A and B are shown apart, each in its own frame.
Chain A
């Protein structure tokens, strides 16, 4: 405990402390969550009624694109990297991350990447308008000039993610306290270890895709240009070879959080720990061999359609194992309903609904109807928002007392939960109906039969958006004036090394490795 943090702005610019960097990541992610949320509010306001009222179709397309990019790369991924920074060393009894200076660099790249990305909105010709999946040739030959800045921003985010992943792998494999064997690690550490390998495997593929775009746009190659002998479908194969593991990169750490919270508030150990680890690994493996289920209408050969359908259906098996294990953990526990637990229970219910619609989407013939409709939009918001975002929110309420030594206001926390839960379902459940009735996604305007459910969906989205202001208030109020907590073990049923250090967690922890039974 030689020294504390540096003073002033230098503390944050030059820090190599895993807790400081974790905090930076979390605040950055929340800021991006609000920016991406603002874009979503613009989308839902335009879709409140049929007809174009507020924005042009060009700007609408920029909003859908930027909403997706900012939420995936700016809000959700950094949120879980922030949690990893804070919690992995505390969970495995390490004094810090293995590569602290690289840790600083991987964070400080991000604000610049997003400054570049968001700045494109103010450039002549507007920002990226080709969807977060940026299919060529809409994103190459037909893209606005700002696409080059978009490519550069993606490269920066990728570099940041790869450094983060290397750091996590190095930390988990080398810095565990004596006695902390792999099969004793908390599930959050396991899911992040596997996620880090996924990141290492697919971020370079994304970098390759955008580099090929850069060449097509500026240097006369024709990777994706049919007129020059290239192949627009190649882009989709490369993108989804990155994109499908990407969705597991987002959801696996969320599984880890839920696997920590449910046992705590059920006061009962996690059921089927080893099967959870194997299921995570199985999901990670399957994520590499199912990518073309995003492309069932692209005109693959029949054998390709059938293979990707079967492989995709298989994912339901390990995912089901996880859900069954969480529920069996609750079964015959002694359950209490603090805010983190409410978000975790909502996660299990809503993520499972997202899993069911995922199974429906896997059935290739039915997917011919669902594909690129609002049914898909509903599906992935059930897994991305009710999955990843709810889990991240649960994590903040769960560990906030440990981080800052103050307890949040439980009534306010529950209020936040219920507004978010109700708003989310009003926003996204009707989108299933819209998709099945035939409304395509990324539509700036729509036919009259879709009007009612769009209005309902928009109202829900505004409620869900407002709930986030309450969340921000809750967190700030806790940090500034929450009731002080002194116990090392903040929650009665909590298990794990992070609950053995004092509350609030000191600037340096585990300078001497703890004893692990």
Chain B
């Protein structure tokens, strides 16, 4: 108990501490030191466990290191300390085996409870299939007919220092995942090429996306906002360049957004029947190429020798159209070439193939229409 005359001093100390924490620069600095508290119940429980085990470690550390530092100071030869000769004690050995074991058992109880909660993916209000690709994410709202790719929006000019880096450098995407606040969202995770991991720290969610597997995890976000995450499993050269952005919005806003997305998908489908001019296809194709193909085949179409084949003068891009359609739509199993038939619309596929057959000096003069792609897919 604090004596009466010490109370003002304690209060002063407390207010000084509060003041220190409210100085913006200092507060910013403090925020970079520890795990932030998240916006889901699970993430808060993880944070609480993290702090508990941290303080247990600190407490043990203080005791153990105090004894050591005391010895290092008091029992120095230079002070003339004579060495004792004791070298065993069964009682002591048993004590420092049993006490840590008891601490661990106490720690295992809340950890087990949290783990069980983390694994409870039942009764979800919304299912989102998350598919990892080298190096982008695909989000599919199961049962709603809405699906889109989500790719890094930071331009190369910022990465290579030609332009100043924006606020959300490497943590911004073209199409963020949108989910409703307050609903239990189940994420089903898989991958089409190598293993990726979908990590959103604010949700306390990290799960591997593995080819041939479907993993499950979930989040019920409580606060509307934009949350940023990263791919957490080494997946090749673009590992650092496939961020995750999730917008959590109120349910009504989400319903509107989803309806708009559905309309968009139907409009895009309708475009399949349209006939485009060469110029339209080339313009759209260049955009699609730079977004989806240039990471490997390079913007100039020259590829990377020994790793990624060139587009320029390639036998596929200048050979029969069916072979070109086949590799773009179906990919090439056993290599890094993905099946873009599942990622891009008919219009985008037609545009990018037209672009590849006429850019980089390939000049075949071929024009591919969305309907050609549609028919190719149907004919398989």
Contacts and interface: CB of A to CB of B under 8 A. Distances in A.
Contact of B239 (A123, A310, A334, A442): A442
Interface string B154-198: 000011110001011111000000000000000000000111010
Interface in A399-424: none
Main SS of chain B's interface residues? mixed
A449 interface: yes
A305 B71 contact: no
A320 B77 contact: no
B206 interface: yes
Given A58-B307, A369-B35, A51 B159 contact: yes
A466 interface: no
A334 B49 contact: no
A7 interface: no
B230 A440 contact: yes
B49 to A, nearest CB: 5
A353 B83 CA distance: 28
Interface stretch (A12-20, A21-29, A136-144, A191-199): A136-144
Nearest to A64: B234
A334 B82 contact: yes
A368 interface: yes
Contact of B212 (A231, A360, A447): A231
Interface size range on B against A? 35 or more
Contacts of B104: 313-314, 316-317
B138 to A, nearest CB: 17
A52 interface: yes
A141 B334 contact: yes
Interface stretch (B50-58, B261-269, B284-292, B367-375): B50-58
Given A138-B235, A333-B75, A440-B230, 16 more contacts: A61-B237, A125-B305, A130-B234, A142-B193, A227-B333, A268-B87, A275-B93, A302-B119, A317-B101, A327-B68, A336-B77, A360-B54, A360-B57, A363-B49, A437-B34, A447-B228
Interface of B: 31-36, 45-46, 49-50, 53-54, 57, 60-61, 64-65, 67-68, 71-72, 75-78, 81-89, 92-93, 96-97, 100-101, 104, 107-108, 111-112, 114-116, 118-119, 134, 158-161, 165, 167-171, 193-195, 197, 199, 201, 204-208, 210-213, 215-216, 228-241, 304-307, 333-336
21 contacts: A51-B161, A57-B237, A123-B306, A138-B236, A142-B335, A144-B306, A145-B306, A268-B84, A297-B232, A317-B104, A332-B71, A333-B84, A353-B61, A360-B54, A365-B114, A368-B204, A368-B206, A433-B34, A443-B240, A446-B240, A447-B168
Interface of A: 50-53, 56-58, 61, 123-126, 129-131, 135, 137-138, 141-142, 144-145, 226-227, 230-233, 266-275, 297-299, 302, 305-306, 309-310, 313-314, 316-317, 320-321, 323-324, 327-337, 345, 348-349, 352-353, 356-357, 359-360, 363-366, 368-369, 371-373, 433, 436-438, 440-449, 452-453, 493
